[in-house]
Structure formats: structure tokens, C-alpha cells
Chain A
Amino acid sequence: MDTFNSLILILDATLRVATPLIFAALAGMFSERAGIVNIALEGKILASAFGGAAAAYVTNSPWLGLLAGVAVGIVFGLMHAFATVTHNGDQVVSGMALNILAAGLTAALGNYWFQQGGNTPNLVDQVNGIDARFSPLTLPFADRLEDVPIIGGVYSELFSGHFLLVYMALAAVPICWWVMFRTRFGLRLRAVGENPSAVDTAGISVVKMRYLALIICGGLAGLAGVYLSVAVTAQFIPNMSAGKGYMALAALIFGKWHPRGALLACLMFGILQAIADRSQGATIGSIAIPVQLIEALPYILTVVLLGGFIGKAVAPKAIGKPYTKERE
């Protein structure tokens, strides 16, 4: 029974940890499938987290915070597109520039606006009448089913009690899959990442498709950021993205640029994180597994995958190359 509870708690934590990764990985999917390497997920998440938290505080509404965060993500997406699509800038360098800009801008503006060392004020502040945090949702009958053996635990602990954004992330996966593989837009987007010349000769604007891809990417990354600040921590803390943008990229690659694979990879990263959190001092036989090893596992696995040792991770063919018509 105890292991069962532990299992539930781990899975519960998994969903919470995986949510921003899922949003970010889906964001990365749109960008990379259109042929643009997206190192900038980290910066987009961070910037949106800040924008969302700041807006939520000022307007005392988590929903406006969410809109603001998504807007910030889109702005960053547009900047990314401006550099890489309009000016054929190096995609990786542009991505790094945005990451660093985000880190600096969020800290500096945060300090300037709120004078709290870069944090935004707490979104739950009863003294000042501020309640701008997303609260966890309780699914119907969760309370009453709590004590029902097995099903009750699963329902009330695992399924219920998450932030809205968690459910949104899980819902986003099939929606993104549908957009990517069942709509005209998705077909064209995937084509752009494989062979932009073919798309061009078919009469479709490569520039327009890539801009749209980066806008969607920015929006989804925005949701990841908003989740971190407006839902989980109830405030923005400098550098709170803590590498999640890169992990999401790794998850995307691990998942072979497919929503289903990305979801599984994100969940895997989440489980590893949840287990790591609970297993200070775990052992195999008499050897203690260092918690750092478990933390490093997702990154090690990504490298192994990239080396082509677990199946081939075949990136979209035209990724990383700016598109220019030949013979200008």
C-alpha cells in the first residue's frame, strides 16, 4: 500500500514537473519542424514567466497574466524570426542572444519595477488583497472518492488537484498533433522544414510559414513560462527556468520531433526528477546512487540518442539553414 502511495505521489509530481517541458517541447516542435533550430526556448520561457507574473500582479488577475505571458513569448518569437528569417542570421547565435537578453531584461526590469532583487511580488498576498495565482483544480467528486481504495487515490491524487495549465498541457499534445498532421497548415509547415525549395515552387511563402511557426512557438513557450511563475511559484524568480528550455529541446529530439514522443520524453524527464527528489540516499545493492546521476540522466541519454546509438534521430532535413533563393 505504501509503495502504491509512493507511486501515486511520484506520478503526481511527474505531471507537475513535466508540464512546462511539454509546452516548451511542443513549442520547439513547431519551430524546428519548420527548419529553425530553437535554442531560444529557455529565454522565451524565462521572459514569459516574468511577463506573466508581473502582469498578474499588476492586474490582480492570473488570466491577464497568462495573456501577457503568451504575448511576451510571441514577441520573442517575432524577434527570433526577424533575425533568422528576414535577415538570414545564424539560428543558433540568434537563439543564444535571445536567451541572454531574456536573462538580463527580466532581472533588470524586475528589479526596477518591483525593487525585490529581481523577483516579482508574490501573487498570493492576503494582506494586500492580491490573489492572482492559479489555484489547483479539484475535479468533481474528488473529495468524496478520496478514501475509495485504489481508484479513489488515483482519481483524487493523481488526476485531480492540478493546476489548469497541467490539464491544458496534456490537452495541448493531441491538439498540436492534430494541427501538425491533420491540417493543411501542418502539412505546409513540415514541408518547409524538409525542403523549402519545394514549398517555394508550390507557390507557398516560406517566410510567412516560418514566421507563423515562430509565433506559435513563442505562444506555447509563453504558456510554459506562465505555468512556472503564475501557477507553481506564484512569483518570478531570476533564472527560474533553470535549463528547462534546453531539457525541452532534448525531450523533443529524444521524441523524434513528434508530439507523442515528446510527451513521453517529457514524462520520462519528469519521473526522473520526481524520483530524484524522493531518493536521497537510494541504493542498488550496496552502492549509493548519487542523486546527481539521476539528474544528469536525461542529458546523458540525449547525447547517446544524438550519437545515433538508440535508433536514428532524423531531424527535419532543412533545419539550421537559412533559406535563400539561389543565384541572387
Chain B
Amino acid sequence: MQPCRDRREKQKGSLITGNDKGVTVAGFEYHKPHSIKEAVHLMESLDNARFIAGGTDVMVLLRQKKIAPAHLISLRNIDGFSDIGFENGLQIGGGVTLNEIVANDFMQKRYPALTDAAAMVGSRQIRNVATLSGNICNAAPSADTACPLLVLDAIVKTTGPQGNRQLPLDDFFLGEGRVDLGAGELLTGFHLPRLAMNTGSAYIKHTRRQAMDLPMVGIAARVTIKIGGNEIGCKDAFCTIDNISNILSKLEDEDLRIEEVRIAMGVVAPRPVRARKAEAALRGKVISEKLFEEIAEIAATEAQPRDSIRGEAWYRREMVKVLTKRVILKAVDRVLRPDDLIRPDRLW
């Protein structure tokens, strides 16, 4: 996985170039800059160069001969690149690995959608080196961390020959495998704004097996709630191993209102998308089963899933309906009990 230049052209190549005259090890030079400035400078001055962070995407692409860079610019040795800061919310450096995110108590409590997602990418071995920025820059439609960052209103920070930029993550994704990074530009980190009180978030990844899997559908939600009635009643609603219908009606009884909401869906479009219409229909309303059925249907219309060997379109659309409900409720659960889910994770 690597923060990268604009990859509009997919290069085909081979590590070895063979011809009648002999074998040229096309290979690459590997550079290890110690500052962002150095990294940007290298990218500017070298021809056919590529950034590499954890390497779990780039090394695979190299082996598959889908890319043939002459230079790899490593981001693993840049001072301060893996910093995590708490000014104005949350600042995550470009070199922060997925396991560092999973292990971070503050993120688990305040931004759990992100830790949910980070914990489910690949395997422990992958997460030990793979970076959040790499997962985003690779821009696969199935990138798990994309939807949580979207619902958390993440801002992307970049730096390049033209200077520094900041832009909302939603504007950063341009399409499948494409992000808004210009020549020589590097993603240096993310800023996640401070969240209001009574805000919770969650991510649900729908997979075929329990580990080492890409999502068939992935949905993240963030909600800010206001309870008209009794908070205990709401917590009780989640306590029973009960079906969602009953949970919803109990929450309706307690007049639980969704003051603010974000919903983002992955794998149902070339890039992760916000379900804005569903959000609008939910915003400011009191929870109820009927409302949730409507929201689910609306969200499904905002998804354009494809048939692929990884899943059928009709099924993905159905899962958008099912998971939209579940992820919002899971996010509500998080508000009610930030330390741990009341309703066990496996039931979602």
C-alpha cells in the first residue's frame, strides 16, 4: 500500500527485460528519505518513481508485473511521519500503520468506525506494516478504511512541489484506483475533526470468511443522537439478544432522535460513496422501524453494485439495505456505551 502519484495510466512491465542481447535486470533503485521535503524532492527529480510505504500493495503489484518503476521512494523512515496527534480532533500521520490505529485507545473510544475497519484489513502481518494512507491512496473500491474516514469527515493533507493542500476525503477520491494527487504530491496525513457529544460511529464489513477477506459490501455510519426519553431504556434495548425490530421499537418508545448522520458505502460504486439521500431522510427524525425500512431502500438506490466473482449485484444491493440499518444501530450502541458494544459484535 503506498501513497502515490496519480495512477491514471497503469503501467505493464517486467522486473526482468529479456531480449536476444541478454537479460537486463530492469529492477529499481530503493531510496530512503528522512524528511517529507526530501521525499518530495526525490519524486520530482527522478523519472518513473513511485512512493512505497508498508509495501503490501506495491510489492504485490510488482510481483504481478502490473507496475515497473525505476525508483521506489520509501516513506518508512521519515521523521514524524507516523505521529498521532490530538489537536482539533485527531491528526493521523501518513506513516501510521493499521495496527497502530487498532491499538490506539483514543481512536477506539472516539472514532471506533476507523478502528473497526483497520482491525479487519488483511492479517496481523499486513496490518503491522500497512499504512492508513496507503489503504486510501490505493483507492480500491473495497478499501475498508475509506468509508469510516468519509463518515468521520476526514480531511486529507498533502504536500508537493506546489506546496501544501487540504481537501475533504470525499473530493480526494476521483474514481476506481484514482485519487487527487498531482505530480510529486504526497499524502502526509489525515485530520479528523472533533466530534460532537453523543456521537458514535461504526463500520460493518460483509465478508465470506472471518478473516483475510475483502468486503462484499462495507458500510460505515456516524450518528449524533438525542434521547427524549430514558437513556437506560435505550441501553436495555440493546441488552437483549433480540431482533432488530424489537430494538427499533424500544428506541422509538424512548424517542431517540438522530440529530446528525453520515453514511458511507464501499464496493457498491467505483469509489466509496456517501448515501446522502438516506442521510437526509434520517436527519432530525426519531428512530422507528418504518423509518429504517425507508432509509434502507433509499440507501440501496444510491448504490450501483456490480456483478463480480466476489459477489452478485442483487445480493450486494440487498446487503446495503440490511447493513445500513445494522451499522446505524451499532453506531447508536457506541454512543450509549463507548467502551464496548452492549450488543455483541458478532450479532451484527
> Does B bind A?
no
B-side residues, CB < 8 A to A, are none
A-side residues, CB < 8 A to B, are none
